[in-house]
A and B are shown apart, each in its own frame.
Chain A
Amino acid sequence: MKFGVVIFPGSNCDHDTYHVVSKVIGQPVQFIWHRSTSLDDCDVVILPGGFSYGDYLRCGAIARFSPVMQAIKEFAARGGFVLGICNGFQILCESGLLPGVLLRNKDLRFICDFVSLRVEDNSSAFVGQYNKHQIIQLPIAHAEGNYFCTNDELTELERENRIVFRYCSEEGLVSSQFNPNGSISSIAGILNKEKNVLGIMPHPERISEDLLGGTDGRKLFSSLSLHIAGLEKLR
């Protein structure tokens, strides 16, 4: 099993993500440069947080045209697992690997905070270790996290159980009061149709060790690792 972490010019959570995969989860991981046209033999590719290409034009809009994204599109089409965190989520939306777009936060401010999330569905490979409706606390740090999609797309996301995380209160109540950025339907993370591509706005890699204040994010990485280990056994 191997993880890959993509580095775009302006990525700044690449080393944190690498650290969690290699030291906390204990799995092999390599960096992948944005000019790379191959993902080697990675089973999982992570698009980390940051400000790829300075957020010029629109967040994630320029990263979408980097050579590595073509390889990632082919990888995803073959069923490879792709996880986009924060700016990574924005890139996945711009690339069309996920529906919708992330707009400026409704109050226009950059928000750096801890939020509660409800795990809406735990049937995908990314979140198998969480319980359904489990409440977790993850940090957010973004100015453009206000998820938006058409009503048809929202209906489809709901019908196909592709909304994985929603912002909520500490008790798990989902309402506009506990929605930090104005996201439609309080969405914090969604899957593609085939459920092998996940975009999440909060930062699980920043909360995967007790030393850093909690471990609620760790299961995002360990779920994938266990899922792939299971697949390898079957081979």
Chain B
Amino acid sequence: MKAKVYVTLKKGVLDPQGKAIHHAAETIGYNSINGVRQGKYFEIDINTTADLAHVQNEVERFAKEVLSNPVIEDYRVELDQL
């Protein structure tokens, strides 16, 4: 099993990296792109014998405590059962 965690900047938090990427896109001529916000994506290997509810709970906690900083970031967890 795999867990996927997406960490994104909260609304209203300035994202200079996203802005720089957006600016580059405009410069090269991608004229339909209105704005870019940069985030992080994590792929996590999960012990297959673990109980699903337990895994969901643990990955949520991991995303909240370690992978994101709640002051500036939100997170979303997806479980992928292969």
Q: B59 contacts the other chain (Cβ, under 8 Å)?
A: no
Q: Is the interface of A mostly helix, strand, loop or mixed?
A: loop
Whether the Cβ atoms of B14 and A103 lie closer than 8 Å is yes
The one of A108, A149, A150 that contacts B20, using a Cβ cutoff of 8 Å = A108
Whether the Cβ atoms of A149 and B69 lie closer than 8 Å is no
Given A57-B67, A61-B66, A101-B71, A148 and B13 contact (CB-CB distance below 8 Å): yes
Interface residue count on the B side (C-beta < 8 Å): 10
Q: B35 contacts the other chain (Cβ, under 8 Å)?
A: no
Closest residue on chain B to residue A184 by CB atoms: B14
Whether the Cβ atoms of B71 and A148 lie closer than 8 Å is yes
The one of B14, B67, B69, B71 that contacts A182, using a Cβ cutoff of 8 Å = B14
The answer for the CA separation of A209 and B71 in the assembled complex, in Å, is 38
Most buried by B among A100, A103, A150: A103
Whether the Cβ atoms of A107 and B16 lie closer than 8 Å is yes
CB-defined contacts of B20 to chain A, threshold 8 Å: 108
In the complex, what's the smallest C-beta–C-beta distance from A107 to chain B, in angstroms? 7
The answer for the CA separation of A101 and B72 in the assembled complex, in Å, is 8
Q: A94 contacts the other chain (Cβ, under 8 Å)?
A: yes
The answer for the CA separation of A182 and B13 in the assembled complex, in Å, is 12
Whether the Cβ atoms of B17 and A104 lie closer than 8 Å is yes
In the complex, what's the smallest C-beta–C-beta distance from A93 to chain B, in angstroms? 8
Per-position 1/0 for B65-79, Cβ under 8 A of A: 011010110000000
Q: A35 contacts the other chain (Cβ, under 8 Å)?
A: no
In the complex, what's the smallest C-beta–C-beta distance from B22 to chain A, in angstroms? 13
Q: A58 contacts the other chain (Cβ, under 8 Å)?
A: yes
Whether the Cβ atoms of A100 and B71 lie closer than 8 Å is yes
CB-defined contacts of B14 to chain A, threshold 8 Å: 103, 106, 146, 148, 182
The one of A107, A108, A150 that contacts B71, using a Cβ cutoff of 8 Å = A150
In the complex, what's the smallest C-beta–C-beta distance from A102 to chain B, in angstroms? 10
CB-defined contacts of B16 to chain A, threshold 8 Å: 104-108, 182
In the complex, what's the smallest C-beta–C-beta distance from B10 to chain A, in angstroms? 10
The answer for the CA separation of A106 and B15 in the assembled complex, in Å, is 8
CB-defined contacts of B66 to chain A, threshold 8 Å: 57, 61, 65
Whether the Cβ atoms of A108 and B13 lie closer than 8 Å is no
The answer for the CA separation of A203 and B22 in the assembled complex, in Å, is 33
In the complex, what's the smallest C-beta–C-beta distance from A76 to chain B, in angstroms? 19
In the complex, what's the smallest C-beta–C-beta distance from B75 to chain A, in angstroms? 13
| A interface residues (Cβ-Cβ under 8 A, vs B) | 57-58, 61, 65, 93-94, 99-101, 103-108, 146, 148-150, 182
For the complex of A and B, 4 pairs with smallest distance between CB atoms: A101-B71, A108-B16, A101-B72, A104-B16
A-B CB contact pairs (8 Å), 10 listed? A65-B66, A99-B71, A101-B72, A103-B72, A104-B16, A104-B17, A148-B14, A148-B71, A150-B71, A182-B14
